[in-house]
A and B are shown apart, each in its own frame.
Chain A
Amino acid sequence: MTMRLHGILGKSDDAAFARRLHHLEHHDGIELLFVPPADVGRKRFRLTTDRGTDCAVSLDRDEELTDGALLFLASDRAIIARFGEQESWRLTPVDQAAALRLGWNAGNLHWRVRFDGDSLVVLLDGPLDTYRARIRPLLESGEVVERDAVR
């Protein structure tokens, strides 16, 4: 299904939205719409969110799309524009015990992840170092190996 969106509701880091967005984060309700650099100046574009929702977006002529612009907000879901492409971080646990611990951490940290064979691909929403810091003991002990920080 296509979401027809018009206009920017605000910035996703506005205090006014903080509570609702935080709640949605905990209920898997945040979708990111990655906007490639070439499309940033557009007033009309059609792109798919990280969850696969087809979005047909238009803006008013005097509106400027910004990184973090909130495009949709409802009780069960929000759609936020993100500039650039999705960065990801691939982690491979050395054994089952390490995998359990990594999975437990990632879940409790509400990281957005994809499973890829024997590795966990973390979809980054912020600087890699802040992610590293959360599981530093696992990395330092060698239980979890960083494969690559690629897009």
Chain B
Amino acid sequence: MNRLSLNGTMAKSRIAAARVGIGGPVGSGKTALVERLIPALLERGVDIAVITNDLVTAEDAERIRRSGLIDPARVSAVEAGACPHTVIREDPTLNIEAADELERRFPGVELILLESGGDNLASTFSRDLTDFWMFVIDVAGGDDIPRKRGPGVIRADLLVINKVDLAPHVGVNIERMRQEALAVRGNRPVLLTNCRRGEGIDAIVDLLEREVLFRT
């Protein structure tokens, strides 16, 4: 029994980093969430790296590199060229290569966050690319989004409803939106965040620690 042990004391030798996808419509707050997750994960001692996808620029990667939250060398950009979902679903090779390359350069890396370019409600991540993926929507997009049952909303391992601070301004009943999201997802996880103020981030990190990093 060389490959395993009880309770996580496994030799950390060559277990690949967990790969976590973050998808969702344009402007829902994916990069803002990454910017909140980075310090929260670092604070818990998780060794991380980041990949961003944009159409034809490295806009989001540059933003994260400049943020001072993480060593800029640990942030890679993949230019999707055309449809953002192509590089996370149909042909994720560019992203897989980027992740492999980060793992080679930073052998201790435990978690790679991968932000997809903004897309529509149908985008999903290939299991070849990510072990776990979340879909970020925001309350300003309307509280009917969960009811529309897009594959992203339904199939994601975690649905994040962001910008809860805007709910009163756009007339959204946040609790009802959450309940409807839980209903269409068969009670799989739904979490609320305000990335502007960093609220709700710990619950996401708790979930990642349990489901993906196996720390608890």
Contact B214 A46 (CB under 8 A): yes
Residues of B187-216 whose CB lies within 8 A of A: 210-212, 214
| Binary per-residue interface labels of chain B (1-37) against chain A in the complex, 1 for a CB within 8 Å, 0 otherwise | 1011111111000011010000000000000000000
Q: How far is the CB of A18 from chain B (nearest CB, A)?
A: 19
* A44 lies within 8 A of chain B by Cβ: yes
Q: How many residues of A contact B (CB 8 A)?
A: 23
Q: How many residues of B contact A (CB 8 A)?
A: 22
From B15, B127, B214, contact of A2 by CB (8 A):
B214
Kindly provide the distance from the CB of A37 to the nearest chain B CB, expressed in whole angstroms.
Answer: 11
- Tell me which of B4, B8, B18, B126 has the highest count of chain A C-beta atoms within 10 A of its own C-beta: B4
Q: Are B8 and A2 in contact (CB under 8 A)?
A: yes
**A7 and B3 in contact (CB under 8 A), knowing A44-B132, A46-B211?**
yes
In the complex, the answer to whether B7 meets A6 with C-beta atoms within 8 Å is no
Assembled-state Cα–Cα distance A74/B127 (Å): 30
Residues of B that sit less than 8 Å from A by CB = 1, 3-10, 15-16, 18, 126-128, 131-132, 155, 210-212, 214
Which residues on A sit within 8 Å (CB–CB) of B131? 42-45
7 of the cross-chain contacts (CB-CB < 8 Å) are A6-B10, A41-B127, A42-B127, A42-B131, A44-B18, A44-B214, A46-B214
Interface string of A46-79 (1 = CB under 8 A from B): 1000000000101011000000000011100000
Complex Cα gap A35–B7 (Å): 21
Q: Any chain B CB within 8 A of the CB of A4?
A: yes
> Whole-angstrom distance between the alpha carbons of A113 and B94 in the complex?
48
Asked if A5 contacts B155 (CB within 8 A), the reply is: no
Min C-beta distance of A52 to chain B, whole Å: 15
Q: Tell me which residues across on chain A come within 8 A of B132, comparing CB atoms.
A: 44
Give the chain A neighbours of B127 by CB distance below 8 A: 40-43
